[in-house]
Chains A and B, each alone.
Chain A
Amino acid sequence: NAGVTQTPKFRVLKTGQSMTLLCAQDMNHEYMYWYRQDPGMGLRLIHYSVGEGTTAKGEVPDGYNVSRLKKQNFLLGLESAAPSQTSVYFCASRMHSGYEQYFGPGTRLTVT
Chain B
Amino acid sequence: ELKVEQNPLFLSMQEGKNYTIYCNYSTTSDRLYWYRQDPGKSLESLFVLLSNGAVKQEGRLMASLDTKARLSTLHITAAVHDLSATYFCAVAPRGGADGLTFGKGTHLIIQP
Contact = CB atoms under 8 A, between A and B. Distances in A.
Contacts of A59: 101
B78 interface: no
B31 interface: yes
Contacts of A106: 41-42
Contacts of B33: 101
Contacts of A33: 99-100
Nearest to B98: A48
Q: How many interface residues does chain A have, given as a range?
A: 20 to 34
B48 A103 contact: no
A74 interface: no
Nearest to A4: B42
B102 interface: yes
Interface stretch (A12-20, A36-44, A62-70, A76-84): A36-44
A45 B99 contact: yes
A42 B102 contact: yes
Contact of B48 (A43, A44, A92, A100): A100
Nearest to B2: A59
B25 interface: no
Interface in A77-99: 90, 92, 96, 99
A48 B102 CA distance: 15
Contact of A50 (B31, B43, B88, B97): B97
A83 B92 CA distance: 30
Given A43-B43, A50-B97, A106-B41, 19 more contacts: A30-B97, A31-B97, A33-B99, A35-B99, A40-B104, A41-B105, A42-B88, A42-B103, A42-B105, A43-B100, A45-B101, A58-B99, A90-B43, A96-B97, A99-B31, A101-B45, A104-B42, A105-B41, A105-B42
Interface of B: 4, 31, 33, 41-43, 45, 48, 50, 88, 90, 97-105
